[in-house]
Amino acid sequence: MNKKVIAIVPAAGIGKRFGQGGNKPFQILRDKPLIVWVLEVFESINDIAEVIPVLKEADMEQGCDLVERYHLSKVKRIAPGGKERQDSVYSGLNLIGNKANIVLIHDGVRPLVERDLVTRAIQELAKGSGGGFDGVVIGVPLKDTIKEAAAGIVKKTLKRDILWAIQTPQVFKYAALMKAYKKAADEKFYSTDDSAIVERYGGKVRVIMGSYTNIKITTPEDIDVAEMLLKKRLT
């Protein structure tokens, strides 16, 4: 593929629900910090030219140490995190300029992402760029029944067969993503999902099948689940 891909890895969150002290991206899974699992996957993918982690200012030195220790040559700089996840991603985008054709965004606390999933998302956007969509997200169909409720009272039951749980990575045309982020900044619109920002400003986003094992580490129990999934994968 001749399009240049730059990956942004936001990992500057507080992680209030994790509650074990320390920063969640640096929690150890098996023998490595969560964020290193992610960065090593991206390091191994030829389509990705550069990786930009986004860390809290207080974590910059630790992040540089990890880059050196694990020989992560595609990490050439680290962006400073912002107050919200969206601010952190924007910080990473502002380091890119116009050098990328495609920007990939992946949470630093989704350590079990697999190479094939990443390359499939990149290739789907690359081949579909002329087909009228600006981004590709991965997701999985919901297994549970979902209800809309307020004050403990069910308002309605949603139609499960058209609902998806959206994950990362998400990949976008650089121009479309940056345009949407600039508009969101001007309007002070915030979302926890990058594709929602692109959609808000007229972008078209395609969803493809992700993986139920591509979990986000949110609570300490998720580390245990990730350990079990890793054991199964490696045996």
**pLDDT tens digits, 50-77:** 999 999 999 999 999 999 999 999 999 9
Q: Are 86 and 190 in contact (CB under 8 A)?
A: yes
Tally the residues of the chain.
235
Long-range contacts of 152-160 (CB under 8 A, 24+ apart): none
pLDDT of residue 20: 57
CA distance linking residue 63 with residue 53, whole number of Å: 8
For residue range 201-235, list pLDDT tens digits in order: 999 999 999 999 999 999 999 999 999 999 998 77
The residue type found at 88 is S
pTM reported for the whole predicted model: 0.93
pLDDT of residue 17: 56
Stated as kind and residue range, the H or E segment containing 169 is: strand 164-173
pLDDT of residue 92: 97
pLDDT of residue 103: 97
Coil, helix or strand at residue 124? helix
Coil, helix or strand at residue 157? strand
pLDDT of residue 234: 79
Q: Are 117 and 138 in contact (CB under 8 A)?
A: yes
Best CA proximity match to 33, nearest among 91, 6, 72: 72
CA distance linking residue 104 with residue 116, whole number of Å: 14
Mean pLDDT by 10 residues, the chain (235 residues): 88 68 84 97 96 96 97 97 96 87 96 96 82 91 95 95 96 95 97 97 96 95 95 85
pLDDT of residue 23: 80
Domain 5-234: CATH superfamily, name plus number: Spore Coat Polysaccharide Biosynthesis Protein SpsA; Chain A (3.90.550.10)
HSE, CB side, 13 Å, CA atoms: give it for residue 222.
20
Pairing of strands 5-10, 102-105: parallel
The verdict on whether omega for the bond into residue 169 sits within 30 degrees of 0, i.e. cis, is yes
Best CA proximity match to 172, nearest among 129, 212, 229: 129
pLDDT of residue 3: 76
Q: Are 10 and 51 in contact (CB under 8 A)?
A: no
**170, β-bridge pairs:** 105, 137
Q: Output Rg (C-alpha) for the chain, integer angstroms.
A: 18
